[in-house]
Structure 1
Amino acid sequence: MRWLAFGTYDVQRHPRVAVLIDGLRESGDEVVEVNDPLPLDTAGRVQMLRQPWRLPVLAWQLGRCWSRLIAGARRARKNGQVDAVLVGYLGHFDVRLARFLFRKTPIVLDHLVSAAGTATDRGLAGSGGAKQKLLRWIDRKALDSADVVVVDTPEHRDALPADVQPRAVVTPVGATRTWFAAKTSDRPDTDPLRVVFVGLFTPLHGTAYLGDALALLADEPGIAVTMVGKGQDHADCQRRAAANTRVEWVDWVAGPELPAFVASHDVSLGIFGTTAKAQNVVPTKVYQGAAAGCAILTSDTPPQREMVGDAALFVPPGDAAALAEALRGLASDREALKNAKATARKRADEHFYPARVVAALRDRITAPAETVPTRG
C-alpha cells in the first residue's frame, strides 16, 4: 500500500504517529509524509480556551500550515495513487482538510484523546458550558470525517460515540525503533537504583503524589531520581519533594537523546494521577521505558493492566507511600529488578514493536469493503 501521513503533527512532542509510520514501513508499505508541524503544543492549544482572543493567532498559524499541506498533497498525488491517508495525533482540524482533499480515499484519524477530555483533565473546562460544547463539537466533526478511528485502549474506544465505535481500531501506542536500540547492559548491583520520570507535569501524571513519595525517600541514599520536564504541577512537585536533596531536576532532554538517557536508568516511572483521564490512558513513557529495557513502575488502572500486563509493577493511583515502598523494594532486591527489566523488554518486543502495533490497522484497511463499517 501507499500511505500519506498527513497533518500538522509533531513527532518530537507526540511520537505516536512516528510509531505508526515506522510500523507501516516495516510491514512493507510505502509512507509519504506531508507534514508541517503547528508551532503550538497541546497545552498551548488548550490554553486558548482561557484566552479566546488568541484564537485568531491559531487560525493564522493553521492557515499557513494548511497552505503547505495542500501543496504537498497535490505533489504526492501526482507521484502515484494514495491508498490511505493517516492523519497524525492532534489532527482534529487536519482530518477535515484531509477529507476535503481526498474525498474517495480512506482517511485514518489517530485519535488518542478527545479535545473535551484533555481540557477537563487540565482544569480548563468543566463538564458543561459553552467551552465544553464547542470542544465536543470539534471532536464530533473530526470523528465524522474519518473512515477509521485509531485509539490506544479499549476504554478510549468505548468512550467514543456509539455510532463511531464500529469504525475504531485499538492499537497500543508502542515505541519507535530508536527506543528498542537504546537498551543498555545492567549496571553493578552496588550502584544506586537510578529512577527517571519524564513528563509535562499535568494532573494525569499525579506528580503531587510523586513529590510526596520522593520526600519519603529522603533518607534512602541507594535511590537516585531524575525528574525531566516542566508543566503546570512542576512547582508543586518540587515543593513536596524538597526534603530529598538527591533528586535531580532537568528541564528537558532533546528528543534524539531521550531514548539513550532513559535507557541509562533502572526504573522508568509512569503515571500516578487520580483524574478520570488518568484511569483511561496508558502513557507513552510506559511503552518507551519498556522498549529501552527499564523496569516500569506505574499506577494500577484497568487499561495499563490490560495493555502492559506483567511488563510493569503497579501501585494504587495517588498512593505516595506505596510508590516509595515499591522503589525501596527494587533498590534492595536487585534480582527482582533484573526480572522486572527482562519482563518489560520481552513484552515490548512481543507487543510494542512498530510492525506489531499497526497490524490491526493494516488488517482493517485491507479488509474487503463489504466487511468494514462505514461513516454514516
Structure 2
Amino acid sequence: MVWGTYDLGKPRTRLMVQALRHSGAEINEIHAPVWEGAEDKSVMHRSDALRRGLRWALAYPWLVWRFARAPRPDVVVVGYLGHLDVLILWFFARLRRVPVVWDAFLSLYDTVVMDRRMVSSSHPLAFALKAWEWLACRAATKVVVDTEAQGAFFRDFYALGQNKVASVFVGAEASVFPPATTRNENDRRRVVFYGQFIPLHGIATIVEAARLSGSRPLDWLIIGMGQQADVIREMLEADAPASLSWTPWVPYGELVKHIASADVCLGVFGASEKAGRVIPNKVFQVVSAGRPLVTRDGPGMRELVGEGAEGIRLVPPADPAALLAAVEDLIAEGSGARDLHGDLRSRFSIEALAERWKDILMEVVL
C-alpha cells in the first residue's frame, strides 16, 4: 500500500510509485492530493499556504478511514512529503501490525535550518523541526533517502541504526528525458542551468562564472525562480553579464529541449554540506538525456560516478573560476557531439529502482 498526502508533483515520488509497480508488488494507492502545483513550498503565498494547510488537515480522517477499511497490506509506503503522514499512521499501523517504509527523501531540518538558513539553529522552529523529524524517524520501520551520504547524515544526526536507513537514487523519467538527438549548430556554445533559486543550487556562482567568461563565445541561460530570485535580480541589475539570459519558467515537458540544445548543462554549486550529499533531479535528467554536465563534487555525486565519468566534470563548491574552466574543458573535448552516460543510465533505470525498492520492502516484511 502507498498511503498519504505524498506529492506527485515531484519526480522522486512519481518514480517511486512507478518503481514499486514495476517491482511486481500489488499496489493499493490511498492518496489525498495536497501539494501538487507547489514547486517551492517556502515561497507560497499566504492564502495558498492556508488553503493547502486546511486541505492537509482535512485529508487525514479520510485517509485513516480508508486505511482501516482496506485489506491488511504486507507493508505501507509513505512518500515525500510524509513527515506528518508517518506520525498520523504510526498508531494505526501498529494496531494492524503493518511495517511502515517512509521515503523521507531529505531532511526538513537540514533544508530549512542548515542549507537555506531560513531560521537559526537556536530558533524555536528549528527545535520543533528537529523534534518532529526525530519522532517521524522512529514512527517508521525503515527510513529511505536518496543517497548513502544522506543516509549517513540521518543515522548520525538522529541516532538511527545502520539498518534503519536505506537509500534509493532519485532517477529520471526516461520518457521525458530520452537521449538527446539534436545538437547546437551555432558557433557560440550554449551553457544551460535550470532549477529553483535556492542556496543549494549556487546560482550566484553561475552568474559569476558567466561574468568571468567575458568575450568568450559562450551563451549562458538560467531557467528558474525561487527563494533567492530577488538576490539574483539585484546582481544582474548591478552588473549583468552580456552573455547571460534569465527565463523565469519553462514547462516541465519542455526542459529536455533546452538540455538537448546545450553544449554543457549545469548541476549545483552550493557550499552547504547538503549540497555535497545529494544528487539533484537535474543531474539525473541531464545524464538521462546524454548531455555533458558540470556540477559540484561531493560524496553524493561520487556514489553515481565513482572516480569520474566521460562528459562529467566535478568542481569545488562556490568556485566560479573552476566552473568556467570545466565548461571550457568539456567544450574543447567535444563531448557534446555524442550521446553520453549509457553506463550511468542503467544505474537509475526504472528496473534498477524497482529492484532496490523490492529489496527494501522484503527487508521489512521478512
Please point out which of 84, 88, 102 is paired with 2:93.
Answer: 102
Aligned to 2:130: 136
By how many angstroms is 1:84 displaced? 2.1
Residue 302 of structure 1 corresponds to which residue in structure 2?
299
Answer yes or no: is the 8 Å Cα contact 2:100–2:140 preserved in 1. yes
The whole-number CA distance in structure 1 between the counterparts of 2:364 and 2:73 is: 18
Letter in 1 for 2:230: A
Kept in 1, the 8 Å contact 2:207–2:241? The answer is no
Equivalent of 1:285 in 255, 258, 282: 282
Q: Equivalents in 1 of 2:42, 2:242: separation in Å?
A: 35
Correspondence for 1:322: 322
Match of residue 337 from structure 1? 336
How many angstroms apart in 1 are the aligned matches of 2:99 and 2:260?
A: 38
Which of residues 6, 14, 20 in structure 2 aligns to 1:18?
14
Flag the 1:231–1:250 CA change in 2: closer, same or farther, 3 A. same
CA 1:234–1:144: 2 relative to 1, 3 Å: same
Of the candidates 57, 74, 91, which is equivalent to residue 63 of structure 1? 57
- Partners of 2:224 and 2:58 in 1: CA distance: 29
Q: Which residue of 2 aligns with 1:147?
A: 141
Number of the residue aligned with 2:33:
37
How far off is 1:149 after superposition? 0.8
Q: CA 1:368 to 1:236, structure 2 compared with 1: closer, same or farther past 3 Å?
A: closer
CA separation in 2, counterparts of 1:152 and 1:296?
A: 20
Q: 3-state DSSP class of the match of 2:119?
A: coil
1:123 and 2:117 matched = yes
Query: SS at 1:102's partner residue?
Result: helix
1:330-361 CA distance string (max 9 Å, x none)? 33332x3346x51x34302x201122124233
CA shift at 1:271, angstroms? 0.5
Aligned to 1:373: none
Deviations 1:250-300 (A, max 9, x none): 222223333444344333211001122212221111111111222121001
How many angstroms apart in 1 are the aligned matches of 2:365 and 2:78? 21
- Residue in structure 2 matched with residue 215 of structure 1 by the alignment: 211
> 1:138: how far off?
0.9
> What is the alpha-carbon distance in structure 1 between the residues aligned to residue 259 and residue 184 of structure 2?
17
Q: Quick one: distance in 2 between partners of 1:337 and 1:217? A: 19
| Deviation for aligned residue 1:365 | 1.9
Instruction: Give unmatched runs, 5+ long, in structure 2.
Output: none
Aligned pair partner of 1:268 in 262, 265, 270: 265
Does the CA-based 8 Å contact 1:211-1:238 persist in structure 2?
no
Asked if the contact 1:22/1:355 (under 8 Å) is kept, the reply is no
Matched position secondary structure for 2:105: coil
Helix, strand or coil for the counterpart of 1:195?
strand
Cα distance change on mapping 1:134 and 1:170 into 2, 3 Å: same
Structure 1 residue 81: Cα displacement: 4.7
Matches for 1:51-90 after TM superposition, within 5 Å: 59-70=53-64, 72-73=66-67, 77=70, 80-90=71-81
RMSD of aligned residue pairs (Cα, Å): 2.9
In the comparison of the two structures, how many residue pairs are matched? 354
- Aligned-partner Cα distance in 2 for 1:255–1:37: 19
Q: Whole-Å Cα distance in 1 between the matches of residues 184 and 152 of structure 2?
A: 45
Q: Structure 2 residue aligned with 1:357, among 353, 356, 366? A: 353
Equivalent position SS for 2:317: coil
Change over 3 Å in CA distance of 1:69–1:254 after alignment to 2: farther
Aligned match of 2:362: 366
Match of 1:173 in 2: 170
- Residue 197 of structure 2 corresponds to 201
In 2: Cα distance, 1:45 partner to 1:190 partner? 39
Decide whether aligned partners of structure 1 residues 157 and 188 sit closer, same or farther in structure 2, where only a CA change above 3 A counts: closer
Q: In the alignment, is the contact (CA less than 8 A) between 1:171 and 1:358 conserved in 2?
A: no
Corresponding residue SS for 1:108: strand
* In structure 2, distance between residues paired with 1:37 and 1:252: 23
Partners of 1:17 and 1:88 within 8 A in 2: yes
SS in 1 for 2:175: helix
Find the aligned partners of 2:360 and 2:332 in 1 and give their Cα distance: 47
Write the distance in 2 (CA, Å) between the matches of 1:41 and 1:189.
36
Going from structure 1 to structure 2, the CA distance change for 1:26 and 1:361 (only over 3 Å counts) comes to: closer
Cα displacement (A) at 1:164: 4.2
Residues 43 and 227 in structure 2, CA contact (< 8 A), matched pair in contact too: no
Q: Indicate how the Cα distance of structure 1 residues 86 and 253 shifts in structure 2: closer, same or farther if over 3 A, else same.
A: farther
* Residue-by-residue CA offset, 1:305-342 (whole Å, 9 max, x unaligned): 222333431111111011112222333332x3346x51
User: Shift of the alpha carbon at 1:32?
Assistant: 3.2
